[in-house]
Amino acid sequence: MGANKDIESYLNKVFLKDIMEVLKELPDKSVDMVYGDPDYNVGVKYGDKSYTKNFNEYIEWYIELARESMRVLKDTGNMFLINYPKQNAYLRVKYLDEACYGVYDYAWVYNTNVGHTPKRFTTAHRSILHCRKTRDNKFYKNNVAVPYKNPTDRRILKNLANGSTGRMPYDWFYFDLVKNVSREKTFHACQIPQKLSEMLIKSCTQPDEIVLILFGGSGSEIEICKVLNRQYISAEIDEKYYKMILDRLTKGLIEEKYKLRLKKYEIKNIERQLTLLEEQRKYLTNNRRKK
């Protein structure tokens, strides 16, 4: 499919379009990384819009998205798809395991105040599927290495002497959700923390390489590409988010008009939670002193 135009004409552009249309135009094996954080089909409203479908229809759409993405990915490329575990499990079994050289299911874990139910454990992680198209995928440990936990261990000392900058991160990552009071928060309904997307982008690309950000959203991942000097291609179907992305990229900051305006009761709730946290902290400190 597609492949009418040269990839150059798509670079460093965001399209106000359905990503499927953009994908179908892109040439085969033309991008170094695909990064996808789609709507998860759990009823989220983006302002007045919702993309929720019947579950089977959603999975068919998700498979088609992954199939086209794999087509445009270079043989040395990597694809990361973020979703809730069930959606990613279906995609993996129904399509990815056959189509990829390797598929790895990572977990992004976070603390949450919502989703608590009395009859099951609380969902507090998302699945990130990492797909290697071939065994020759590029992966840059030194871009993402974390400090060794036991740097005085003899084997670690040897690694350090041989130039190692640290260990490969584990396949689970802790990053706080983007909170309403975070510096990077906008009026967008669901944002991925920039520290997380930064780690994924750095793990498999170098400056000037091409990252296809399937869903523009608030522009958080596209901004990371710009800061890291990666070339990007992206699409966003909703005009209000599209405009925010363009402004964010041009001005290098999130203008006040795009920031989340908290309602009075939300500010009161946050203040109450901060007071409770402070009380808990004092209680724990006092208890520790008594012991």
Where does this chain bind ligand SAM (CB under 6 A)?
A: 18-19, 37-39, 46, 51, 188, 190-192, 215, 217-218, 220-221, 235-238, 241
Cβ proximity to ligand SAM, 51 vs 110, nearer residue: 51
Shortest Å distance, C-beta 279 to ligand SAM? 33
Give residue number: closest CB to ligand SAM.
217
Shortest Å distance, C-beta 253 to ligand SAM? 15
Query: Would you say 247 and 255 are in contact if contact means Cβ atoms under 8 Å apart?
Result: yes
Shortest Å distance, C-beta 37 to ligand SAM? 4
Do you know the residue count of the chain? 291
Please report, for residues 117, 139, 191, 200, 221, the alpha-carbon distance to residue 206 in angstroms, rounded to integers and kept in the order given: 43, 10, 24, 12, 15
> Which residues make beta-bridge pairs with 86?
none
Shortest Å distance, C-beta 285 to ligand SAM? 36
Cβ proximity to ligand SAM, 81 vs 131, nearer residue: 81
Cβ proximity to ligand SAM, 19 vs 70, nearer residue: 19
Cβ proximity to ligand SAM, 63 vs 75, nearer residue: 63
Query: Would you say 205 and 27 are in contact if contact means Cβ atoms under 8 Å apart?
Result: no
Please report, for residues 129, 163, 168, 189, 215, the alpha-carbon distance to residue 148 in angstroms, rounded to integers and kept in the order given: 25, 13, 9, 36, 35
CB atoms within 10 A of CB 34: 26
Query: Would you say 145 and 167 are in contact if contact means Cβ atoms under 8 Å apart?
Result: yes
Alpha carbons 39 and 55: distance in angstroms, whole number: 12
Shortest Å distance, C-beta 191 to ligand SAM? 4
Cβ proximity to ligand SAM, 18 vs 176, nearer residue: 18
> Which residues make beta-bridge pairs with 130?
80, 104
Shortest Å distance, C-beta 12 to ligand SAM? 18
Q: For tokens 């958080």, what's the residue?
A: 220
Cβ proximity to ligand SAM, 127 vs 220, nearer residue: 220
CA angle at 24 for the pair 23 and 30, rounded to the nearest 5° = 60
Cβ proximity to ligand SAM, 63 vs 145, nearer residue: 63
* Closest-CA residue to 221 (of 185, 197, 244): 197
Shortest Å distance, C-beta 18 to ligand SAM? 4
Q: Which helix (H) or strand (E) holds 213?
A: strand 210-213
